[in-house]
Each structure stands twice: as structure tokens, then as C-alpha cells.
Amino acid sequence: MASPAIATDRPLAVAILAMGGQGGGVLADWIVAMAEGAGWVAQSTSVPGVAQRTGATIYYVELIRARDGAHPILSLLPVPGDVDVVIAAELMEAGRAIQRGLVSPDRTTLIASSHRALAVPEKAAPGDGITDPTDVLTAANGLSARFLCADMQYLAERAGSVISASLFGALAGSAALPFPRAAFEDTIRASGIAVAASLRAFAAGFDAIEAPEIVPPKPTPPPAPIFGREQDRAALDRALERIATFPAEARAMLRTGLARVIDYQDVAYGHEYLDRLDTLRPLPDAALSEAARFVAVALAYDDVIRVADLKTRASRFDRVRREVAARPDQLVSTVEFMHPRVDEVCGTLPRRLGAFIEGSPMLVRALRSVVDHGRRMRTTSVAGFLPLWLIAGLRRWRRALLRHEREMAHVEAWLTVVRHHMNHDPALALEVLKCRRLVKGYSDTHMRGQSKFDRVIGAIPLLAGRADTADWVRRLRDAALVDEAGVALEGALATVRTLDA
Amino acid sequence: MAERSFAREVQDLKLAVGEEFRGEGILAVTKALLQSGVGYVAGYQGAPISHLMDVLSDAQGIMSDLGVHFEFSASEAAAASTLAASVMYPIRGAVTWKSTAGTNVASDALSNLSSGGVTGGALIVIGEDYGEGSSIMQERTHAFAMKSQIWLLDPRPNLPSIVAAVEHGFALSEASNTPVMLELRIRACHVHGSFICKDNQKPTYTLAEALENPVTDVNRIVLPPASFMHEQDKIKRRWPAAVEYIRRNGLNETFDGDIADLGIILQGGMYNGVLRALKLFGLADIWGNTRVPLHVLNVTYPLIDEDLAAFCRGKRAVLMVEEGQPDFIEQALNAILRRAGVDTALCGKDVLPMAGEYTADALIDGLGKFLDRHAPELDRARPPSAAPVLSDPRVQALARTVPARPPSFCTGCPERPIFSAMTLVQKELGAHHIACDIGCHLFAINPPFNLGATTMGYGLGPSSASAFNVPARKRAISVMGDGGFWHNGLVTGIGNAVFNKSDAVTVIVDNHYSAATGGQDILSSRATSPDRSTQHPIEDAVRGIGATWVKRIDRTYDVAKMRDTLRLALTTAVRGPKIVIASSECMLNKQRRERPLFNAAVKRGERRVKPKFGIDEDVCTGDHACIRLSGCPSLSVKRSDDPLKLDPVAVIDETCVGCGNCGEVAEAAVLCPSFYRADVVHNPNAMDRLLDRVRTRVIGWLQRRREAGRVALA
């Protein structure tokens, strides 16, 4: 038989990668409705299933200008290397699109929201588990025909809408589909749901692609004016003069650290902070800056007084209102979730009394039955605020409390190790300083952190005399931040033990 | 109440002859059923056919006007049994479920149904949950068709073909006295398209008429000697009758092409994919013209030997495109060609993958190999390929950057605190064997919980732990949802445990719906429904079947209570099964119901309080213990502005629904005091404002007093 006339026209292919709940289906429906409205034939498919419960999912749309009396056969699956527009509703999803081969340098307009929705493992790491997105940006820039990227989530939120609307705007702005802006907007109007907000977000998305909004880098805040009582001023000025005697590279961190410990306790505490740093002056400049950071963190340890202080400040009340986006005509009341334990109570007692109670199992039991349970305190009511305010006021006696004694002993032991190594192995001294990062959290978390810290520091004698001791301490610290139970740390420690054998 | 309202789609069911229906494939099926004069529809929900059930459920008015009976069946077995109404009476019936999970459950009834045969058309609409997006084991429904002699339709994935398959399915069933399965793949279920409608038909013979004029025939019952007769009847009469109907009505389609010495035989569902692959080789176009002849099996069982032999005869080579394993059709085709003495070379799974979805890549690759082997001289285009991009080092680097994103519990999900509590209990008592079930609760196997050892099927959580009924220092824990419980878990799980004096712990997750499938009502749903009887407590059922140690927790967010109850269940000296019923409404459904009411009330000026959780950034130390006990999508981390903090701090975003889990976990696990709940009072009344003024004045005075003594340096 004769060869049939094989037409060469091809449909436009659009793939949308989204997470369940992001409205990828709405976006696909809008594209279909717009195309049909313009006399095109459109076909969309999706595989929602369980992926709609927060998982990654893909919607696929093909569009072709209609022909009289003919029905196009459109694909239900994207063809890798043959997709015109890829829309990623999150930055890593753009990476996933590239991995699936949907993005090609000769064809694909890649529109991505630059915001991150962190995956659970990124969030759950005890340390910093956030993935560096540079790989995705590099691949997206290098391997797409056009890469258009802006924070569509932020633009949508600012417009009181959702990301599907700002992405639809970005699609319009990209001019990747042969439909005018009005056709997009009419589609939103025809949907009849939250039209005004959707159109605002649409416009924001459109403009972000047309003329990317350059977000200026946050200006570094100018040093705030110093205020306080007259008698403190002189001491404060002296502290600032002391900072000026340190190497220039360390001064910014010293100032931050000083501000923290003064805010934590008082100006005298600031001087104690600088006294400790004085003993670390032999460290190289960069290490001294790290020392300024970690000594401040160690001195401003998280205790009951600190928490009560932070929770009762006026600035905190304002911040909560901002965070919950309360309008001026709305009232906000705040409930805190506290679970004090015997440890915290004893730590907040004068050192002898605290230690005495801790030494008596009977007293501990009695105290536990009284204090050790969850408490909810409404800090916006006087009855809830006052106890916390009073606890915050214990600050002036903090130096006499049991917890303070223990913390200072721990700090001293730590800095002794630092000082011991800072002359012959400054790199090791720096790594020991950085181990302070392991000590954080409250109650069990704090104990676990301290135990990891102690195990890492305790391994140093095993590594003594090696040229790469500092490297090993860094490795141990990184391992300690991988998982909560310390499995990775134990593995690393086992390796360290075999090193010596 | 289902997760999604289909009020608009229901209107489409009323479309009259000549009008255009636009929408999803699975919704086109609902309209096609009504056009076919169906007398009753039943089924069990599950992706990808949930929408079919939901639309019909929302369309009670239209259904009763037409005299069509609709049921949410208790299980696929119940749905399949419903087709018994078509055994003796000329009533068309349709049932639906996801396959192969549902077909497994239904197969007892299906075997009996297909043995005795049917009088009225019996159609089984199968959502073939295979390939990307599937949530179940990767198997084929095809095997069930072959073993029971049920005919299997696999129409081309466009709405007119799907609608025609429904209509022919009933007629084929009646012509051959055999039930017919209509297989729709996931994407075909969700494909958006259009077709021209016909008028709806009332059933010609009603269920009421049947009830009032009962007919019996012992020969239709599966018992010897009739059962032996049935087998012969299937082969000698029903099969040829089916072949006759399929050929006469041209259910399978042949598309001619000028390259007559090649050919492709394909399942109907593969048509769009195959055509796209051909187009990319320059051998077909978007409008359906092809140069390589195609034989499309819209009926994949039975095969029509004569037609297949005729298509292949005289060709150099034919490619069989058959998705899934094993290669049932290809094997049969080889036998057919051999018997017919046709020596055409047959390719299939030798160039295409034996297992896995036939993606665009797989089809292009397989077709390319077929052409290389059998038509190397053919002038063809080079299809696009992602291979160069994928081998780029910049793409390979993404493997360590792009995170896996498995499904998880939604924001505010009431099941999350159950697994937070289970995690806390295991920290005290050590790891336990945890038998899982099917449902949202299965997401606990993923991070951050990583809880669960096995899953054996819907409602089979407790019975899958039944072997561990031996003296040991630990007890097995099993988890089952309310959906699985009513599906069969009451008997196979709880009844089995009671009868065998099991000592294991069973947690029944009661979220008031069959939530994972889209929030359909079940027996224990709290809502009142005009069409169903609900509000039957799970506790009554388990006590009724003989369980005595039963604890019910009516607010799963109470993590401490949940933890203490689980600990008690695992340690109590009481013998016999320990049942913990953990009840709280699915948050997705709750929000969908309550949010519009809340917003409307606020708009009317009524006082309403909305809770939202937050984290004091300066109190958070960046350990993320809270996330390891929660994993809530609204609880995330961000880099701190504080230069002293190297690790990211926790943050709660604007999607928080204020379920309370964060605070409860922080309290129960003694985590940290960073969490707070902010109750935002909309439209505060005079009393609120007065109280607020007094409080602000007192607290403000105390705050100013403290600030005055503070020295600040920033």
C-alpha cells in the first residue's frame, strides 16, 4: 500500500514536578483549561496515589493545536529529552527532573521555585543536614535551554495565595507556551476559586520571570548603641577596649560573644569571658575567632534562668505576634511547654543544697513526684508570666548555683585541653574548641551531647603523637553529629582504637 | 465524607446524547456505566479507582432516579460477591477495585462467579496499580483472567475507547455468560480527555423485580457434578461465544501501514506509548497515521488465534508489546503462530524489558532494537535521547544531592503521635517486632520513625504477627488501621488472636475514615450519613469478638498517655491479646471540613481562636530531637541568624494546623522548652480586650523594670 502522509507536527510537552499538597494538579488543570479555551487539544495525566501524602509526584501535560476531524494521539508519559517545559515546585525537584532526563539543553525551559522544602533526613540530622543545592543549580543552569528560578513559594505567600498560582504566572512570564498573559489570567478567573489572591500571586510569578527581583543581601546591622546604667558603662567601655587589643580577624566574633555573655549575665561576666580568651591568645587568628564563638556559647549555657529570661522579654512577645502573622485587631495568647526535672531544680539551687538533695535518693524521689511532669504556662497571663519572670530574676545569683559550678568546671577542663595543645598543635586545639558544638539541647539531649563531647575529647590521648590528630578529632566530631544514638561515633572510635593497636 | 467533593463531576453524569463530557478517564467510566443501563454498582475504594466510587457516592440522587443501586462494599470480596445478582437475572452489574491487591481479596468470589457463569452483564473495573505511582506489589491481573476464564479488556487509553470498552464489556459478558474485567492503568484512570455522551439508560430488569420473582438453578452452583460441567462449558461454549462477539464487533483494531512486512501487536493500553515511539522514529505521526501496521488488542484475554495468525502471516517480523511479567501473551502468540504454521519472526521480551513499566525510554529502546534486527535498511529518524545529559558528571553529581521523598504523614496527622509514642516506648523497653498493615500508618516505616518489619496485606497486620505467640521477654506489636480492621482485620486479626490466645499487642489506628484511599466513610466513621449506617465503635466490635484487654485513647495527640498505654500493653501480666484503639480524626479531612466553617464564622464577626505552634529560635539549640520524633512537614529547620549557632534551628512554617503534637512530644520526651503555642483570637470580645489590657499593663511594667537593669551591646 501507499505510504500514508506522515505529519511532522509535534505537541508541546509540559512536566510538573511537585510534592503532594503543592497543587501540582491545579496547575495541570489550569494549563489544560487554558489550552482548550484557545482551541487546542490538551491531555494531562498524573500518578497521584500515595505520593499525594507529601511525596514527590509528577504531572504531565501535552498540548497541540486542534485539527478538524482528527484526534491526536498524545503520550501519557514524558519522553526523556523531548519535554518543552519543566516546572519544579521546589528546588530539589528541579534536580529530580534533570535526573529523570526530562531537561534537555536544546529544548527545555526549566522553571523552578528556588525555595527548599527539606526532606526528613535533612531535618533530622543532629547537626547540619541541609543539602547544599549548588549541584542542582549548576546542572539546571548548564543543562537546560533556559533556567528560570525565583522563590515562588515566598511570592505566593506574600500574595496570600499558593505556589501553583505563582508558578502559573512564571509559566506565562516565560512565554514558553504560545498563549497571551490574558489567556492565563482568564483561566484563573474562570476557575472561580480565590481569584483575587491567585491573580496577585500570578502577577508576582510573572514579574519574577520577566524581571527577576534581586533580593539585596542583608546589610550587616550597625553596632547597636550601648545603653544601661552609668556604673556599667565604664566597665563596658573597658571590655570594648580589651577587644581592640585582639587580632583584627577575631574582633567581630569577640564583640558578638561579648554581647551574648553580657546579655546572658552581666558586664562582669563579659570580663570573665575576655579573661578566658586572653589565655588563648597564642592561637592563630582564625582559631581565636572560633574560640570567641565557642567560649561564648559555653558560658551562655542553656539553663532554666536563661529560658525564663528569653521567654519573658517584651521583644519576644512582639516576635511571636509577627511569627503567627497576627493582625492588630487580633489578640495573641501564648502557652509554653515546660517539663522541669529534678536535675533542673537542683541545678537552680545553691550549690551545697543542690548537691545535698542530689545525694539523697529519697529526696530526689520526693522531689521528682512534685516537679517532674509537663507544665503548660500561659505567659500572656499574669499568673503564668510571673513565675517565669521571677525565675529569670535569679540571674543575679546564678554564679552561686550548682549548675553554674558544673558548667564552669566543664569549660575549664575543655579549655585546659585547648591550652595544652595550642602551642605545639594549634590545628588540634582548634578542633577541640569546635567540639563544643556537640554540647547542646536540654535534659537528655544535653546529656547525650555532653557524653559525645567527652568521648571525642577522651579519644585524644589515643591519638597523641600522630601528625593527623586534628583530622581525627574532626572526623570523630562529624561522626557524632550524624545520628542521635552515636552509632557513627562508636564506629569511628572503634577505628581510632585499631589505629593504636 | 470523602477527601474531595465531586459535586461538579456529578453534574457531568446527567449529560445527554450528543453532549461532550470532559474529565478524567475513571470518571468517564461512571458515565459509561449509566449509559449502559447498569442496575447496580459496588466496589472497594483505592487508588486509582477511588474517584469512581466517590463520584457515584456523591451522585445518589441521579442513581436513585435511574433505579441504580450503589454500595460501598466492605471489601473487594464483598464487591465481587455482589455480582451474584447477575448470575440468575438479566441485570447488568459493575464492581471496581484496585488490582492486583483487590483481585487477590476478591478471587474466591470471582472463581465461583466465573465457574457458574452469568446471565446479566458482569463488569469488573480494575484499576491496574502498576508502574510509577503504584503503592502495591507489582503483579498482573492477567493471571486471574487466565486461571478463572474471565475476559480481560485493555482498551486504548483515551476516553472514547474506554467508554466503548464499558459498553462492549457488558454485551460481551452477556453474549458469553462470562464476567469481564476492564483493566485501566494508573495514568489511563487519571488521563484528562473528552467523549460524546449518550443518554443514560434505566436498567431493563430491576433488582426489585428479581427479588420478587426469584429464580434458582442448581446447575449454576459450584458443587459436583455442576462444577465439572462448568469447566467444560467455559471451554466449549462460553469461549467460542466470546471469540465470536469480539470478532463480529471488531473489538481488536488493526491499523494498516505501508511497511507491510513488519508489524506490532500491542495491548490496547500501550497504544499511545507505542505510537509516540514510532513517531519519534519518523514512522508515525501525532494524528494516528502509522507506517508500521499495528494490531491492537483491546481484548487481551482471550486471544483470537485466527486474527493474530492472519496479522502475522507474510510478515518478516512482528514485535509483541506486552507490559508486565511473565510474558503470558507472547508465549501464547508463539504457540498460536506455530500451530498455524506461520514462520514470522516474533520479538517481544527479548528486546523489551521483561519486568517493569513500559516507559517512553523502554519502548524507544525496544523498538530500536527490533528495527535494528529486522529492518536495518529502513530509513528512520533518530529519537531524542536523554543519555548524553544523564551521563554528564553534573547530573551524576545529583545522586548525592537530590533527596528521596517518600510519602509521609501529613501536617497535623493524628497517626504521627502514635509513632512518636512508640518510639519513646522502644527507647525504654528496647526494639520490638512491629508488624505493619496497609494504610497511611505504614508511612511509619520511613524516616524519621523507621518503625516496622513486614506488611502482609490489608487488615492482616495482627495476623502477620500471629506466629510470635510464644513465651518471650518481649511481645510483638502490630498496627492496623480502621479501614483494614473493617475490611477483614476484625476476624483475621482480632478474632484470630482471641481464639489462639495470643499475647501480642495490637494498635488499631482509628482516624474515622478509610483515609489512605481518600477519606471514605466506614462503619466506625463519626459522621452521620443519610445513605450508610455509621458510628459503630471499634471497641464494641473487638469486645464483641472476645477481646477483654482493650484501651481506647480518644486523643492520639496525648503522647504521654499513648506512651504509657503502650508501655502497659507491653508489660502487663494480663494474658490474651492487648488491644489499643487510638482514635483521632484524619487531619486532612478535618481541615477540609472545618476550615471553611471557621473562615465563615470569622467573616461573620464571631469570636474564634486559632492555635498555631512556634519555636523560640534563641531557645532552640539545633539538635533536632523534636524532628526525629515527629517529621511533620510544617516542622522544619532553617539557618540561624545568630553567628554563634552553627547548626540550623527548628522552625514551624505557616502550614501548621495547631494539632498540638509538637508541644506534647516536647513535654513527654522532655525535649526542650523552645516550643510555644500561640492562640490567635479572631474577633475578640469586650472581655478579651479588657483582660488583654490589664495583662499587657502588668506584664509590660514587669518587663520594663527588668529591661531597665539590663546592659545591652549588640
Burial of B174 by CB count in 10 Å (0-12 exposed, 13-18 middle, 19+ buried)?
Answer: buried
Q: Is A375 helix (H, G, I), strand (E, B) or coil?
A: strand
**Same domain as B643, residue B690:** yes
A-chain residues within 8 Å CB-CB of B648?
Answer: 128, 130
Measure the CA–CA gap between A56 and B446, rounded to whole angstroms: 14
Query: Tell me, what CATH number does B493's domain have?
Result: 3.40.50.970
Domain end, chosen from B190, B219, B248, is at B248
Show which of residues 471-490 on chain B sit within 8 Å of chain A, judged by CB atoms: none
Contact B680/A102, CB-based, under 8 Å? no
CB atoms within 10 A of CB B589: 20
- Its domain, for residue B285, covers 254-388
**Same domain as B224, residue B170:** yes
**Same domain as B276, residue B229:** no
Measure the CA–CA gap between B495 and A310, rounded to whole angstroms: 55
pLDDT over 90 percentage in chain A: 80
Show which of residues 389-408 on chain B sit within 8 Å of chain A, judged by CB atoms: 389-390, 392, 394-395, 397-408
In-domain check, residue B407: no
Contact B673/A311, CB-based, under 8 Å? yes
CB A294 within 8 A of CB A437: yes
Residue A495 has pLDDT above 70, yes or no: yes
- Give pLDDT, residue A484: 85
Compare CB distances from B157 to A51, A76, A142 and report the shortest one's residue: A76
Q: Which of B652, B679, B646, B655 is nearest to B666 (CA)?
A: B652
Joined grid coordinates for residue B345: 519472526
**Averaged confidence pLDDT in chain B:** 95
**Same domain as B383, residue B307:** yes
CB pairs under 8 A between A and B: 425
B627-674 tens-digit pLDDT: 999 889 999 999 998 999 999 999 998 889 999 999 999 888 888 899
A393-408 tens-digit pLDDT: 999 999 999 999 999 9
Compare CB distances from A333 to B134, B440, B679 and report the shortest one's residue: B679
Measure the CA–CA gap between A125 and B405, rounded to whole angstroms: 16
Radius of gyration of chain B from its Cα atoms, rounded to whole angstroms? 30
Q: Which of A483, A325, A107, A1 is nearest to B624 (CA)?
A: A483
Q: Where are the domains of chain A?
A: 12-210, 230-300, 305-403, 407-501
In-domain check, residue B472: yes
**Which residue of B lies nearest to A380 if distances are taken between CA atoms?**
B695
**Same domain as B629, residue B576:** no
Residue of B280, B623, B667 for testing the chain A interface, max A β-carbons within 10 Å: B623
Residue of A3, A27, A54 for testing the chain B interface, max B β-carbons within 10 Å: A54
A-chain residues within 8 Å CB-CB of B427?
Answer: none
Contact B285/A157, CB-based, under 8 Å? no
A344-359 tens-digit pLDDT: 999 999 999 999 999 9
- Give pLDDT, residue B406: 85
- Give pLDDT, residue A46: 86
Contact A123/B272, CB-based, under 8 Å? no
From A210's Cα to the closest Cα of chain B, the distance in A is 27
**Same domain as B196, residue B55:** yes
Which is higher by pLDDT, B478 or B405? B478
- Give pLDDT, residue B516: 82
Q: What is the DSSP string of A195-224?
A: HHHHHHHHHHHHHHHHS---PPPPPPPPPP
From A497's Cα to the closest Cα of chain B, the distance in A is 28
**Contacts for B412 with CB less than 8 Å, ≥ 6 apart:** B587, B591, B632, B634, B656, B657, B658, B659, B661
Compare CB distances from A7 to B285, B390, B683 and report the shortest one's residue: B285
Measure the CA–CA gap between B635 and A122, rounded to whole angstroms: 12
B-chain residues within 8 Å CB-CB of A160?
Answer: none
Q: Is A15 helix (H, G, I), strand (E, B) or coil?
A: strand
Burial of A201 by CB count in 10 Å (0-12 exposed, 13-18 middle, 19+ buried)?
Answer: buried
- Give pLDDT, residue A224: 46
Instruction: Name the DSSP class of A291.
Output: H
Joined grid coordinates for residue A43: 491531555
Measure the CA–CA gap between B279 and B294, rounded to whole angstroms: 13
Q: What is the DSSP string of B433-485?
A: -EEE-SSGGGGGGSTTT---SEE-STT-TTGGGTT--S--SS--EEEEEHHHI
Contact A255/B446, CB-based, under 8 Å? no
The model carries a pTM of: 0.93
B-chain residues within 8 Å CB-CB of A340?
Answer: none
Joined grid coordinates for residue B275: 505510537
Measure the CA–CA gap between A322 and B17, rounded to whole angstroms: 57
**Same domain as B429, residue B376:** no
In degrees and rounded to multiples of 5, residue B300 shows phi and psi of: -95, -10
In-domain check, residue B280: yes
Q: Which of A308, A304, A380 is nearest to A341 (CA)?
A: A304
CB B136 within 8 A of CB B98: yes
Query: Tell me, what CATH number does B330's domain have?
Result: 3.40.50.920
Number of domains observed in the structure of chain B: 4
Q: The domain A12-210: what is its CATH number? A: 3.40.920.10
Residue of A57, A64, A79 for testing the chain B interface, max B β-carbons within 10 Å: A79
Contact B403/A142, CB-based, under 8 Å? no
CB B645 within 8 A of CB B618: no
In degrees and rounded to multiples of 5, residue A144 shows phi and psi of: -110, 160
Beta bridge partners of B482: none
Measure the CA–CA gap between A133 and B65, rounded to whole angstroms: 58
Burial of B343 by CB count in 10 Å (0-12 exposed, 13-18 middle, 19+ buried)?
Answer: exposed
Residue B233 has pLDDT above 60, yes or no: yes
Compare CB distances from B680 to A3, A70, A332 and report the shortest one's residue: A332
Residue of B27, B676, B681 for testing the chain A interface, max A β-carbons within 10 Å: B676
Contact B711/A227, CB-based, under 8 Å? yes
From A431's Cα to the closest Cα of chain B, the distance in A is 14
The position carrying cell 549555657 is A301
Sign, CA torsion B76/B81/B87/B91: negative
Is B223 an 8 Å CB contact of chain A?
A: no
Contact A263/B712, CB-based, under 8 Å? yes
Q: What is the DSSP string of A51-102?
A: GGTTSEEEEEEEEEE-BTTB-----SSPPTT--SEEEESSHHHHHHHHHTT-
CB B421 within 8 A of CB B479: no
- Give pLDDT, residue A246: 97
Is B447 an 8 Å CB contact of chain A?
A: yes
From A32's Cα to the closest Cα of chain B, the distance in A is 9
**Same domain as B242, residue B93:** yes
- Give pLDDT, residue A441: 83
CB B70 within 8 A of CB B57: yes
In-domain check, residue B13: no
If phi > 0 it is left, if psi is from -120 to 50 it is alpha, else beta; for residue A313 that is beta
- Give pLDDT, residue A3: 53
From A494's Cα to the closest Cα of chain B, the distance in A is 24
**Same domain as B308, residue B165:** no
**Which residue of A lies nearest to B360 if distances are taken between CA atoms?**
A79
Joined grid coordinates for residue B481: 488501621
Is B330 an 8 Å CB contact of chain A?
A: no
Show which of residues 423-442 on chain B sit within 8 Å of chain A, judged by CB atoms: 440
Exposure string of B118-135, with b = 16+ CB inside 10 Å and e = fewer, is bbbbbbbbbbbbbbebbb
A169-219 tens-digit pLDDT: 999 999 999 999 999 999 999 998 899 999 999 999 999 987 655 555 555
- Give pLDDT, residue B271: 98
Exposure string of A229-249, with b = 16+ CB inside 10 Å and e = fewer, is eeebeebbeebbebbeebeee
In degrees and rounded to multiples of 5, residue B284 shows phi and psi of: -160, 170
With bands split at pLDDT 50, 70 and 90, how would you rate the model's confidence at B100? very high
B313-331 tens-digit pLDDT: 999 999 999 999 999 999 9
Joined grid coordinates for residue A40: 487546542
Domain end, chosen from B530, B558, B589, is at B589
**Which residue of B lies nearest to A448 if distances are taken between CA atoms?**
B623
Measure the CA–CA gap between A316 and A307, rounded to whole angstroms: 12
Residue A492 has pLDDT above 50, yes or no: yes
With bands split at pLDDT 50, 70 and 90, how would you rate the model's confidence at A226? low
Work out the average pLDDT over A25-40: 95
**Same domain as B174, residue B26:** yes
**Contacts for B603 with CB less than 8 Å, ≥ 6 apart:** none
Query: Tell me, what CATH number does B674's domain have?
Result: 3.30.70
A-chain residues within 8 Å CB-CB of B709?
Answer: 229
Measure the CA–CA gap between B317 and B319, rounded to whole angstroms: 7
**Same domain as B429, residue B310:** no
**Which residue of B lies nearest to A381 if distances are taken between CA atoms?**
B695
Give counts: helices (H), strands (E), chain A: 23, 8
Contact A79/B392, CB-based, under 8 Å? no
Q: Where are the alpha helices (DSSP H) in B185-327?
A: 186-189, 207-212, 226-233, 239-248, 271-280, 305-312
- Mean pLDDT is lowest, of A208-217, A302-311, B348-357, B641-650, for A208-217
Compare CB distances from A49 to B135, B257, B624 and report the shortest one's residue: B135
Work out the average pLDDT over A469-474: 94
A-chain residues within 8 Å CB-CB of B704?
Answer: 314
Q: What is the DSSP string of A30-54?
A: HHHHHHHHTTEEEEEEE--GGGGTT
Work out the average pLDDT over B510-533: 89
CB B87 within 8 A of CB B117: yes
Compare CB distances from A443 to B135, B448, B670 and report the shortest one's residue: B670
CB B267 within 8 A of CB B329: yes
Domain end, chosen from B233, B248, B263, is at B248
In-domain check, residue B162: yes
From B635's Cα to the closest Cα of chain A, the distance in A is 9
Contact A336/B192, CB-based, under 8 Å? no
Measure the CA–CA gap between A438 and A479, rounded to whole angstroms: 11
**Same domain as B455, residue B355:** no
CB B386 within 8 A of CB B609: no
In-domain check, residue B579: yes
